[in-house]
Amino acid sequence: MARIVQKFGGTSVADIERIKNAARRVKREADAGNEVVVVVSAMAGTTNQLVDWTRQISRLHDAREYDVVVASGEQVTAGLMALALQDLGVDARSWLGWQIPLKTDEVHGKARIEAIETAEIERRCKDGQIAVVAGFQGIGPRNRVTTLGRGGSDTSAVALAAALKADRCDIFTDVDGVYTTDPRIVAKARKLGRITYEEMLEMASQGARVLEPRSVAMAMNHRVRLQVLSSFVDAPGTLVVDEDEIVEKRVVSGIAYSRQEAKITVARVADRPGVAAAIFGPLADSAINVDMIVQNVSEDGQTTDLTFTVARADLDRTLAVLEGQRAAIGFTALKPDSNVVKISVIGVGMRSHAGVAKQMFQTLADRGINIQVISTSEIKVSVLIAAEYTELALRALHTAYGLDEVG
Amino acid sequence: MARIVQKFGGTSVADIERIKNAARRVKREADAGNEVVVVVSAMAGTTNQLVDWTRQISRLHDAREYDVVVASGEQVTAGLMALALQDLGVDARSWLGWQIPLKTDEVHGKARIEAIETAEIERRCKDGQIAVVAGFQGIGPRNRVTTLGRGGSDTSAVALAAALKADRCDIFTDVDGVYTTDPRIVAKARKLGRITYEEMLEMASQGARVLEPRSVAMAMNHRVRLQVLSSFVDAPGTLVVDEDEIVEKRVVSGIAYSRQEAKITVARVADRPGVAAAIFGPLADSAINVDMIVQNVSEDGQTTDLTFTVARADLDRTLAVLEGQRAAIGFTALKPDSNVVKISVIGVGMRSHAGVAKQMFQTLADRGINIQVISTSEIKVSVLIAAEYTELALRALHTAYGLDEVG
């Protein structure tokens, strides 16, 4: 007998029929003799509608009231899922964040989980009752509803799995696993049977939208075995596990891409110590995350160009902040460019395998693709290229690293 | 300075613009120097959608999960209303049933309020903060969400007004007050400036849908001054008050009608003691409420016909129960008739004024309208007539009792 947390995302509970379908998945796991705890997202589209209402109603943004409004979506699904399970003859009850309680800090809108009191849920679990937990929500120190931010239901599921010492945490979504790259672009993309936490974290951080980075990091820290799978097909998904659980090691496991990037070149800043701080200090103060940075070699020994990337959604604000600092920084022009894509090859095998970056650069060069910015980490090489080359680059790299489907 | 509870019904908060409009009404009351506590319903249509989902998902009906689902509607409105007030520069926060807490019994789906802890809300009220309370919901003895049944937000508002010793409880709805009768049918219907609790309770019980009977009874018991008014027009509504607050006493204050009735005649039952118990006992056991009853005079000294009314929604179930008892009761036929309307004239003046019933019967007789069943109480006379005469009867009675608009 195993203890399993099953999390169903918005598309998996988008309407009554899908909730019933998800309930049947839960029942099957329970019928196999396992203890099951279910975590549900809001029905697809609900959260966006609720967020939109809060924006329409007030230019101000009291995150405490925002949380009261948006947390209602998961409340509805939790109740409906409990009813669907009961209709299948399964003993089930819903749990809202404040009922568990799932305690968080007070950072409304993106609260962090501090503690989960699981004693009562565990006791009922042992008695055969299935707990249906409303994802995405908790209770803050002042008895107010909190939410965990984007992808919060994944975080709820992983945190519950950790607290319950679950044997596995299944994340049901609308794709049937983690692929070597986006199969909508690369027809030869393969579903991975297993992937390491570190790789999954990089994949998620670099644009693969199947899991939120925060929930992957939490799973890694607590060694929660994750499975990503589809609620619409009956097949195993991708297991996210420790490196030593993976037998067949690859150098590159996957290729991620992100179109959410924007590049800014700050032209002709003084080539002297402190200029980077003058640029990036104000951006940090404005809570703008800078990703890739490259400082060009000075041609005249006096000025240089500095290029970096930010999230495309932050581009306008970034330009405004820098314009406001023009005198302090000293530059001749800001050159924004949203027509870029970041492509990242990821694999824990890189640690022990040289030449991955070189192969990437050569493959792109062979297709005449110019690399604008490069950044690397221990298990990842990312490049920024013109957006029009996205498909060409992904397919070429997929073949070059031997990821194409066999047969 | 007064303390006022303002309750906004579903049509008054049906969309973002209307919530903003309601918020302006609240702000005006606060700007006048009053302490205001707001109670909100779900946005119009929301509760029906949620109820529909619970029915679609399960033939069973766990009222605890039903409550989790349907209570979400008021949660959304409470958060949005708090945001709308903040946007107007008013300090406001939302309160869910479990946060107050508004404690109820465990009868999920139609729970009764047992206690409301108002200390914290009162403290903040004095500091100038407006409490926005999610109506219709509470918390049961086992820490579960409960709902108060149909019209539950009115009940929440009146109970809060009683607990807070409020000077007035304003019920904002889509009509601008209580009318002598339905103005959609009788053009000469007049808005009443004041009406007594007893009259309002009869009006509500006999079909006038402006207030739920339960909330009126609670207001009467706790002497909460109610005002029924429209959130869409800027005019005083109808005050529901103690009899001694009404200067100009009328014999008849209003005429209500209900099309939700069905009549059943049980033909040729034995005219002997115990037959009524044989009929109405099983109905009571099936939780079917019987309203009007008339037993005809026996013609043959051995058998008689017995006629009574139930809610139209209960008609099929009533017939099934009686058919199941056919042997025990002994009758030749059940004759159902849904083509009926109940018309009630109501007024506390009847207590001291004879001839009201006679005038009703004569007025209807003059129009050739046959009375099928009659029932009376201290301040009410009700008759059952064929549904096709509804408009004719209402207009004739409205004129006969001198209720037509002056001028």
Strand order of the β-sheet with A373-377 is: A254-258, A340-346, A380-386, A373-377
Q: ipTM, 2 decimals?
A: 0.86
Query: What are the pLDDT tens digits along chain B (407 aa)?
Result: 899 999 999 999 999 999 999 999 999 999 999 999 999 999 999 999 999 999 999 887 899 999 999 999 999 999 999 999 999 999 999 999 999 999 999 999 999 999 999 999 999 999 999 999 999 999 999 999 999 988 899 999 999 999 999 999 999 998 999 999 999 999 999 999 999 999 999 999 888 888 889 999 999 999 999 999 999 999 999 999 999 888 777 889 999 999 999 999 999 988 888 888 899 999 999 999 999 998 877 777 788 899 999 999 999 999 999 999 998 888 999 999 999 999 999 999 898 888 899 999 999 999 999 999 999 999 999 999 999 999 999 999 999 999 997 64
| Residue in B53, B65, B80 nearest the CB of A69 | B80
- Residue A233 touches chain B, beta carbons under 8 Å: no
Cβ contact A58–B143 (<8 Å): no
Alpha-carbon distance of B211 to B54, in angstroms, equals 26
Question: B67 and B149 in contact (C-beta within 8 Å)?
Answer: no
Structure tokens at A130: 């299935």
pLDDT attached to residue A360: 95
Token reading at A217: 């990091």
Question: Minimal Cα–Cα distance from A319 to chain B, Å?
Answer: 29
Q: How long a stretch of residues is chain A?
A: 407
Task: Supply the pLDDT for residue B295.
Answer: 82
Single out the residue of B164, B165, B158, B285 nearest to residue B211, CA to CA.
Answer: B158
Structural domains in chain B plus CATH codes: 3-174 (3.40.1160.10), 262-336 (3.30.70.260), 340-400 (3.30.2130.10)
The pLDDT value recorded for residue A136 is 97
Which one-letter DSSP state was computed for residue B110?
Answer: S
Chain A contact present for B68, CB below 8 A: yes
Give the pLDDT confidence score for residue A406 in this predicted structure.
63
- CB contact, 8 Å: A22 with chain B? no
In angstroms, the CA A50 to CA A46 distance is 6
pLDDT of residue A57: 95
* Of B207, B267, B257, nearest in space to B383 by CA: B257
Question: Of B398, B281, B389, nearest to B339 (Cα)?
Answer: B389
Q: How many CB pairs under 8 A join A and B?
A: 117
Instruction: Write down the residue that tokens 């909100």 correspond to.
Output: B40
Question: Which residue has tokens 């003058």?
Answer: A278
Cα–Cα distance, B26 to B21 (Å, whole number): 9
| pLDDT (0 to 100) of residue A298 | 75
**Overall size of chain B counted in residues:** 407
CA dihedral A10, A14, A20, A24 (to 10 degrees): -30
Burial class (CB in 10 A: 0-12, 13-18, 19+), A88: middle
Any B CB within 8 A of A68 CB = yes
The CB-based long-range contact list for A383-387 (8 Å cut-off, 24+ gap) reads: A383/A342, A383/A343, A383/A344, A384/A261, A384/A263, A384/A292, A384/A309, A384/A340, A384/A341, A384/A342, A385/A340, A385/A341, A385/A343, A386/A339, A386/A340, A386/A341, A387/A259, A387/A339, A387/A340, A387/A341
Residue whose pair of structure tokens reads 């039952």 in the numeric block: B269
pLDDT at B31: 96
Position of tokens 């160009």?
A305
Residue among B407, B402, B389 at smallest CA distance from B253? B402
Q: Are A288 and A344 in contact (CB under 8 A)?
A: no
Please report which helix (H) or strand (E) contains residue A335, including its range.
strand A333-337
Residue B135 is predicted with a pLDDT of 97
The predicted pLDDT at position B407 comes to: 47
How far apart, in whole angstroms, are the C-alpha atoms of residue A175 and residue B304? 71
- B56 CB within 8 Å of a chain A CB: yes
Q: Does B86 touch chain A (CB under 8 A)?
A: yes
CA distance A342 to A384: 4
At residue A163, φ and ψ (nearest 5 deg) are -65, -35
Contact B396, B359 (CB under 8 A): no
CB contact under 8 A, A58 and B84: yes
Point out the residues of chain A with pLDDT beneath 50.
407
| C-alpha neighbours within 13 Å on the C-beta side of residue B157 | 31
Instruction: Note whether B80 contacts A144, CB cutoff 8 Å.
Output: no
Residue A16 to chain B, least CA–CA distance (Å):
6
Instruction: Map residue B98 onto helix, strand or coil.
Output: coil
